[in-house]
Amino acid sequence: MTLGASITPEGIRFAVCSSSARRLWVSLFDDSGAREIDRLELNPEGEGVHALLVPGLGNGTRYGFRADGDYAPERGLWFDPNKLLI
């Protein structure tokens, strides 16, 4: 399985692997990259992988990931869904 963003004939498949995240989203942005136009939750697929196929998207799509989970810096966990992961 390919992680990250993969262009397919149907659209873009987004996939992230995290054994610690409770929820993961892909944020889609307008052409300027300044305004978030959608936030879609990735589906858990097992073994820590979360993925989602978004039909109709293609090359040049501006996106970032967001993750939610424990905020416990002493354990190396810094989850904050308000922060964009690029």
CA distance 7 to 54: 10
| Residue (of 4, 31, 30) closest to 17 by Cα position | 4
CA distance 38 to 19: 25
Q: Quote the number of domains for the chain.
A: 1
- Judge whether 45 lies within some domain: yes
- Judge whether 12 lies within some domain: yes
CA distance 42 to 67: 10
CATH number for position 19: 2.60.40.10
- Judge whether 86 lies within some domain: no
Q: Model confidence over 48-63: pLDDT tens digits?
A: 999 999 999 999 999 9
pTM reported for the whole predicted model: 0.92
CA distance 38 to 26: 8
| Residues 63 and 79: beta-carbon distance below 8 Å | no
Structural domain including 37 reads 4-78
Q: pLDDT value at position 6?
A: 98
| Residues 59 and 8: beta-carbon distance below 8 Å | no
- Given pLDDT bands bounded at 50, 70 and 90, which one contains residue 34? very high
